[in-house]
Structure 1
Amino acid sequence: MVCSNRAGHDGGMISILSSVLRSRPSMNPYRSRQRIPPQPSHSLYREAPGPCASGERVSTDDGQDLLLRPIRPDDAPALMRAFGRMTPEQVRSRVFHALTELPEPVARWMCDVDPDATIALVLVDADGAEIRGEGRVHLDPATECAEFALAVDPDFTGKGLGRLLVSRLAEASRAAGMREIWGDTQAENNRMLALAKELGFTLRRENDDAGLVRMSLALAPMDGSGEATTT
C-alpha cells in the first residue's frame, strides 16, 4: 500500500522519495507541482512527540512484533533496501515515476529529517534490521495542514500497518497544531482509497489531474489537557 505527498499507504517502502525530490529541486529531475512547506521557528515534534518519541512495541494483525519509532539518520541503508523490495506498481504509486532504486543521497536526506518541518516514523523488525513501513507528514503552519505520505513493505500489506501509521501521523499532526491532514494517491490505488475511507477521510478527484485523488481529514483541535476536543 502506498500514499504520497503524491502516493499511497501500504505498498512498498520509500515513503517519501517524491516528497524529498519535491522539496530539494536540485535532486529532482521530475519537479512536481507542490509547494515546499514553510518551516516554523521551533520544533513542533520535539515539543509534542506523541506516543512514538522513544519507540512503541506493536503487533501486526497476524501477530508479528514490530517497533514503531521516529526515523533516524542510520536508517538510510534499510530504507534503500526497503525501496528495493517494492514492486514496480508500488514504486509508481509512491513516486509517480519508474525508478529501480533509491539513490543513497536521497535516502540519507529522507532519514535525517528537520523536526521543525517533518515528522517521520518507521515500523521496523523486532531486531531493528529492516524497515517494514514508513510514513511522514510535512507540517505547514501557515495553512495548519499536514501533507502525509507512507508505504508498507509488500510482504506486510494487509496486516494493519497502514492504518497504524496514518493514525499515529494524524495524532502527531494534531499535537503539532495542525487542523487537517491530507495526501494524494492514484485513482486506481484501491487499497489506499479503501483505507482512507475507513479512517474517515474525504476523497475528491483533482481538477487538474483526473488520475489523482485528494484525501483529507479534519483534525479536532487539542484542548488544554492535551486531548482532542469533540464537537
Structure 2
Amino acid sequence: MPTTCEKRFSVQEQTFVMRQLTPHDAEVYLKFFNRLDPPTIRCRYGHMVSQLTLDTARQIASLDPTWEPALAIFQEDASRIVALGRFHADPSTLSAEMAVVVDTSMRRLGLGRVLMESLIQQAEQRGLAQLHAYVVTQNAPVQKLLRTLGFDREEVEPNSHPFDDDVKFTLQLIA
C-alpha cells in the first residue's frame, strides 16, 4: 500500500515537495548524502561513511516502498534533496526502525517533523504496532522532537545495538 503522492508545502517562503524516493532520484540522493558533514552522518548512519556510491544510491532508491519507504523532501524544482526519512519494517513483528536526516543548512524549519509525521502515518496505514528510532545521546533536538510526537525513551540493553551511545525511542501505534 505504498503511496506515490506528492505533498507540496512552504516554509519561510521556500516551497518544497515531499514524495517517495525512486530509482530516478539516485543521482540527486547521492549528491544529498555527499553534502552531509561527518557529525550528521554519525548522527543518522551511526558510523563514519565518507561517501556513497551511485550503485548503492540506486539500490537504496529502489527498495520496496511497502516495507521500506523512503520519503524525500526536495526543493521545489526537484534539483536538490534537503531531507530524507525512511523506515525499515519487519512484517513478522509489526515493527519498524525509523530514521531521518536533514541537510545542515535546512535545519530548524520543521522538515524533520514533516517527515516523521508522514512516516508515522505510513506505518499506521501498514498496520504496524511500533516504530523505533535510535538517536545518539548528544542529539537533544531530535530526542525532543520524538517525545513531542509521542515516542517514549527506552533503556537499551548493553550490546543490543551496535552503537553504545544511542538512545532508543519507541512509539506504540496500536493500543
Q: Normalising by structure 2, what TM-score?
A: 0.91
The yes-or-no answer on 1:79 pairing with 2:29 is yes
Q: How does 1:120-139 map to 2 (within 5 A)?
A: 120-139=70-89
The yes-or-no answer on 1:190 pairing with 2:137 is no
Q: How does 1:53-202 map to 2 (within 5 A)?
A: 53-60=4-11, 62-202=12-152
1:136 touches 1:149 (CA, 8 Å); kept in 2? yes
Q: Normalising by structure 1, what TM-score?
A: 0.70
CA distance in 2, matches of 1:132, 1:213: 25
1:205 touches 1:212 (CA, 8 Å); kept in 2? no
Runs of 4+ in 1 over 3 A off after TM superposition: none
CA distance in 1, matches of 2:148, 2:117: 11
Q: Which has the higher contact order (CA 8 A, sep 6+)?
A: 1
Q: Which amino acid aligns with 2:104?
A: P
Q: Which amino acid aligns with 2:40?
A: Q
1:78 touches 1:130 (CA, 8 Å); kept in 2? yes
Moved more, 62-71 or 209-218: 209-218
Displacement after TM superposition at 1:93 (Å): 1.2
The yes-or-no answer on 1:208 pairing with 2:162 is no
Q: Which amino acid aligns with 1:169?
A: L
Q: Which amino acid aligns with 2:165?
A: G
CA distance in 2, matches of 1:211, 1:98: 14
Displacement after TM superposition at 1:220 (Å): 4.0
Partner of 1:16: none
1:205 touches 1:211 (CA, 8 Å); kept in 2? no
Q: Which amino acid aligns with 1:117?
A: W
Displacement after TM superposition at 1:178 (Å): 0.6
Any idea what SS the aligned residue of 1:118 has? coil
Displacement after TM superposition at 1:193 (Å): 0.7
CA distance in 1, matches of 2:10, 2:168: 29
Displacement after TM superposition at 1:81 (Å): 1.0
Any idea what SS the aligned residue of 2:69 has? strand
CA distance in 2, matches of 1:116, 1:123: 19
Displacement after TM superposition at 1:59 (Å): 1.7
The C-alpha deviation readout for 1:56-107, integer Å capped at 9, x for no partner, is 10122x2311001111101111111111221111011122222221122211
The C-alpha deviation readout for 1:198-230, integer Å capped at 9, x for no partner, is 211101231215411111111147xxxxxxxxx
Q: Which amino acid aligns with 2:14?
A: Q
CA-based RMSD of the aligned residues comes to 1.5
Displacement after TM superposition at 1:180 (Å): 1.2
CA distance in 1, matches of 2:120, 2:61: 20
Q: Which amino acid aligns with 1:124?
A: F
Identity %: 28
Displacement after TM superposition at 1:117 (Å): 2.3
The C-alpha deviation readout for 1:145-179, integer Å capped at 9, x for no partner, is 12111111111110000001000000001001111
